[in-house]
Chain A
């Protein structure tokens, strides 16, 4: 018992409250839904024995449409965030004036202090059939009939890109910040043009930021619930909505658990890819 008096032992004691809290209120619940996902559905949607794979059958059967849609939406969200976010991060980090840089960052973060629900709702105003965008396009005579923007997959995409954009910009900004632009001069001296320099020098060296940003955007997008709920209608339904339905109206706890477990697996797989490629590269630097 003397170990507890050593530096390491005391350190372990310090970690105990967190170990307890995360163990009981995080790990144990996750373990519970893994177990429940293999159980049968009883009357009223509760879990009961015997064990079965039926819910996974259904998850990869009829629900696969939504599973694939969720992964597709999350992927497109990530790619678009990257396309808008990288140049923006590049622009900000290459400003000479430090205060101007901070101001630029500030104006990216500021909208995100507003409640997520309110920000998502704002897009309902913009995208509605009788919404702002349609009103402007109609008054300019660009369209005859209102475009259907709300309650589509497009609306969910816009909402997600909007919701998670800073998660892409900030890590990339941090990466470019640390990037030494002497490498660019060196590449130019060696005869590379801007295109080659960017793809062979700048981009690979800022890849850790790109990968971190992509993971930070992709992961919450796959599990999104509020955005498709408020903007998606029937056409933008995502896996998160179906999960929540299983614990509400559709009353099928084991199926909801199975869907959650699969979603968790997708997320952990993404992380694995990130750890495999992202962290290794950082080590190479």
Chain B
């Protein structure tokens, strides 16, 4: 939590610098190390979480081919790696999942000599509790979970979870169990990362009771449901909502960080055990951490960038940097919680509670 504050303050400090530096920013293009031609890299990433040309450019620069596969929830990715890595070289889990994967020996340590661009990363996001010393992972993007809504259905906007629970219309939730339970636990006055089964049950019942208007628990595609008009509001990751707002070039969609508090997360690049080509994976990480490449990704996905160099060089869209829904103000940040590692029993308790919630939700 303290780290986040530092980060937010830092970001605040650099915004003006960014604006000033924008004009004469000239970044050396990234150069691929020799010797990878003809090899293959397999990336397993969240859906809608990379710029359009990131992968094609990498393929061209290194003369390699990339298998790019996507997942829709951290748990799905984790389950797939647990069942035996089917051949991925890079996965992008959130912090708490990184901790689980380290504990279960599902990640391989990084060779930082291959990743000089580590120097570009925001220091306050490094050395996090889930991976001390960044032995296994490096930050990719960060952001929040909040409510994306249609301004037509909510002309006066929406500011709290309470308003979403009470809304009389179709709503979609997000299939991110820990974040959803974290919200309920926070509202109930408990620790968002509690391992007390009674509190988890209480949170489950709270959510079931408040979820009468839920038509679907979306797997990271809530923004599409919102864009099609299937739902009037959806719980989603911040960037996904900005993406549809950008795409339609309209004011029909808005994103809010609810007042009661919500989940703030950092996603990290890591190499799963039995990766066929770990070396190329680290080269790819270095590529992603290049200021221009990193900025392109954040400008496309509308998530917050951990790439301090990109921010300093003014490569990130000023609109995004100044948007408190993307880079939350210190005031908002007070109510944000991170999901921390849980032991196996607690993880199972959350999983069981989530299954039970799905059975009774909306019915």
Tell me if chains A and B make direct contact, with any CB pair below 8 A.
yes
Residues on A lying within 8 angstroms of B by beta carbon are 41, 43-46, 62-63, 65-66, 128-130, 148, 150-152, 233-235, 237, 242, 245, 247-252
Q: Is B210 interfacial (CB-CB < 8 Å)?
A: no
Q: Is B195 interfacial (CB-CB < 8 Å)?
A: no
Report whether B79 and A45 are in contact in the complex, using a CB–CB cutoff of 8 Å.
yes
- Contacting residues, chain A, for B215 (C-beta < 8 A): 148, 150-152, 233-235
Known: A43-B344, A234-B362. A129 touches B229 (CB 8 A): yes
Report whether B229 and A65 are in contact in the complex, using a CB–CB cutoff of 8 Å.
no
Which residues of B in the span 74-127 have a Cβ within 8 Å of any Cβ on A?
75-76, 78-80, 82-83, 104
Report whether A41 and B348 are in contact in the complex, using a CB–CB cutoff of 8 Å.
yes
Report whether B356 and A249 are in contact in the complex, using a CB–CB cutoff of 8 Å.
no
Report whether A249 and B73 are in contact in the complex, using a CB–CB cutoff of 8 Å.
yes
The A interface, classified by DSSP as helix, strand, loop or mixed, is loop
Inter-chain contact total with CB atoms closer than 8 Å: 89
Other than the given A234-B211, A250-B351, A252-B352, 13 more pairs (CB < 8 A) read A62-B356, A65-B360, A129-B231, A130-B228, A130-B230, A150-B230, A235-B362, A237-B358, A237-B359, A247-B83, A248-B75, A251-B79, A252-B351
Query: Which of the listed residues B215, B347, B356 has the most CB atoms from chain A within 10 Å of its own CB?
Result: B215
Closest Cβ–Cβ distance, residue A239 to chain B (whole Å) = 11
9 closest A-B pairs by beta carbon, nearest first, are A130-B229, A249-B75, A233-B216, A43-B344, A151-B215, A234-B362, A234-B361, A233-B215, A248-B76
Report whether B363 and A234 are in contact in the complex, using a CB–CB cutoff of 8 Å.
yes
- Contacting residues, chain A, for B354 (C-beta < 8 A): 249-250
Q: Which listed residue, A44, A129, A247, A250, touches B355 by the CB 8 Å rule?
A: A250
Report whether B104 and A148 are in contact in the complex, using a CB–CB cutoff of 8 Å.
no
Report whether B216 and A248 are in contact in the complex, using a CB–CB cutoff of 8 Å.
no
Report whether B79 and A247 are in contact in the complex, using a CB–CB cutoff of 8 Å.
yes
- Contacting residues, chain A, for B82 (C-beta < 8 A): 44-46, 251
Closest B residue to A128 by CB, please name it: B230
Could you tell me the distance between the alpha carbons of A43 and B211 in the complex, rounded to whole angstroms? 30
- Contacting residues, chain B, for A249 (C-beta < 8 A): 73, 75-76, 79, 175, 177, 351, 354
Report whether B104 and A43 are in contact in the complex, using a CB–CB cutoff of 8 Å.
yes
- Contacting residues, chain B, for A41 (C-beta < 8 A): 348
Q: Is B180 interfacial (CB-CB < 8 Å)?
A: no
The B interface, classified by DSSP as helix, strand, loop or mixed, is helix
Which residues of B in the span 131-161 have a Cβ within 8 Å of any Cβ on A?
none
Known: A130-B229, A248-B76, A251-B82. A65 touches B359 (CB 8 A): yes
Residues on B lying within 8 angstroms of A by beta carbon are 73, 75-76, 78-80, 82-83, 104, 170, 175, 177, 211, 214-217, 228-231, 344, 347-348, 351-352, 354-356, 358-363
- Contacting residues, chain A, for B344 (C-beta < 8 A): 43-44
Query: Which of the listed residues A43, A46, A62 has the most CB atoms from chain B within 10 Å of its own CB?
Result: A43
- Contacting residues, chain A, for B356 (C-beta < 8 A): 62
Closest B residue to A241 by CB, please name it: B358
- Contacting residues, chain A, for B347 (C-beta < 8 A): 251
Closest B residue to A235 by CB, please name it: B362
- Selected A-B contacts with CB under 8 Å, 21 pairs: A41-B348, A43-B344, A62-B355, A65-B359, A128-B228, A129-B231, A130-B228, A148-B170, A151-B215, A151-B230, A233-B215, A233-B216, A234-B217, A234-B361, A235-B362, A237-B358, A247-B83, A249-B79, A249-B351, A250-B352, A251-B347
Report whether A234 and B216 are in contact in the complex, using a CB–CB cutoff of 8 Å.
yes
Could you tell me the distance between the alpha carbons of A151 and B82 in the complex, rounded to whole angstroms? 31
- Contacting residues, chain A, for B228 (C-beta < 8 A): 128, 130
Known: A62-B359, A65-B360, A234-B358. A128 touches B75 (CB 8 A): no
